[in-house]
Structure 1
Amino acid sequence: MITWFTFTVVAITALAALICIVMGLWGKVPSDLTVGAIALVEVLLLVQVVIAIIAPFAGNPPAGSLLEFWTYLISAVLLPVGGVVWAFVDRTKWSTVIMGVVAIAVAIMMWRMEVIWTVTTPVTGA
């Protein structure tokens, strides 16, 4: 993974979460702004998929579990899609809040993926 890209995705995703939660609690139904913010998060996650495929071939292999990393990444890619589908089906202020919660979950998952990719754990035992 690329650390600066992770920080960028986490920051943009946190901003999207803030926008969606504030707009939802303000009583706004899903709009171009809120759905667009989540769509941007999805695009960034798809870029992360490409980076995760190319990085090991470029000499940047993961330090942690590859299975755990890909489980997080695939789940993170599916969450915004589910949030937007929910917003289209349930056009209430609460679906806007749900998109914000999805964005918070994605931001946390991105940070965890960075940790899995970069942090080596000491081997204990003999």
Structure 2
Amino acid sequence: MILWLTIVQIAVAAAAGLFCVALGLAGRRPSDFSVGSLALVELLLVVQVVAAIVAPLAGNPPTGDLLEYWVYLVSAVLLPIGAVLWALMERSRWSTVILGVAALAVAIMVWRMHVIWTIQVA
């Protein structure tokens, strides 16, 4: 994994998570801003998928379990999609909180993926 991409992903996901949780607790329903913040998180995850495919070919193989890494990555990619679908089907303030929780979960999962890629020894 690329360190700067990991840091950007964690920062954006954490910011989106805190933003959505704050909006939800303030009573706001899902809007273009809250859903758009999750779309940005998803875009960065797609970039991570491409980087995860290219990195081993470029001489940067993972040191940890590759299966565990890909399970985290696929789960992280599906999490914002599920949260946005939930928010669009049930348009309540709690749906906005769910968007935030999903973004915060993605931030944690990206850090764990970085640990699997760089620190663990298989």
Report the TM-score, using the length of structure 1 for normalisation.
Answer: 0.95
How big is the shift at 1:120? 3.4
The reply on whether 1:27 has 2:21 as its aligned counterpart is no
The reply on whether 1:18 has 2:18 as its aligned counterpart is yes
Partner of 2:65: 65
Q: 1:13-92 to 2 correspondence within 5 Å?
A: 13-92=13-92
User: Deviation above 2 Å: which 4+ runs of structure 1?
Assistant: none
Gaps of 5+ in 2: none
User: Deviation string for 1:87-109 (max 9, x for gaps)?
Assistant: 00000000000000000110000
Report the TM-score, using the length of structure 2 for normalisation.
Answer: 0.98
Amino-acid identity (%): 61
Gaps of 5+ in 1: none
CA RMSD of aligned residues (A): 0.9
Aligned length, in residue pairs: 122
**Take 1:117 and 1:21, find their aligned partners in 2: how far apart are those partners?**
30
**Take 2:53 and 2:113, find their aligned partners in 1: how far apart are those partners?**
14
How big is the shift at 1:9? 0.3
